[in-house]
Structure 1
Amino acid sequence: MNTTAEPSEPTAPPSPDELLEIATIAAGAAADYIRSLDREHLAREYKTSSHDIVTVHDKASEDIIAAELRRLLPSCRVVGEEAGERPAEGDGPAVADPGQVVTFYVDPIDGTSNFAAGLPLFCISIGVTVGDELVAGVIDAPVLGQVFTAADGPAMLNGREIHPRSTNAAADALVVSGFPGQRGVTEFPELAAKAQQELENGLSAVRHLGTAALELAYVAAGWADATFLASINAWDIAAGFHILRRAGGSVRTWPGRGQKGLPDFLCPAYVACTGPERLDIVDELFEEVQALRDADL
Structure 2
Amino acid sequence: MNTQNLTPLTPQKDRQVHGWLSFFLFVVGFGAAITVVVSIANFSLDAYDTGAGAFLTYFIALIDIAYTLGIAGLAIYTILAFLHKRSNAVFLGKSYLVVIFLSNVLQLLGGDYDDYGLGSLSQIVRALILGVIWFVYLCLSEQVSDLFPKEERKILGRDKYIVGSLVLTPVILWGILLLAYLGSVSTPMDVSLGYGEYSDGTVVFCAPENALCEKTDTLDNVYHTLVMGDSIWGTVIGVYDTNTGEEYFKECVDSWRDTELDGYDFSVLDTHKEVINGSIMRMQSVKYETRPSLIWQFSILFSPETGKACIASLYSTTEETENIMNALMSSVRFK
Task: State the TM bucket, normalised to the shorter chain.
Answer: under 0.3
TM normalised by structure 2 equals 0.25
More helix by share: 2
Task: Say which one has the larger Rg.
Answer: 2
TM normalised by structure 1 equals 0.28
The higher-RCO structure (CA 8 Å, 6+ apart) is: 1
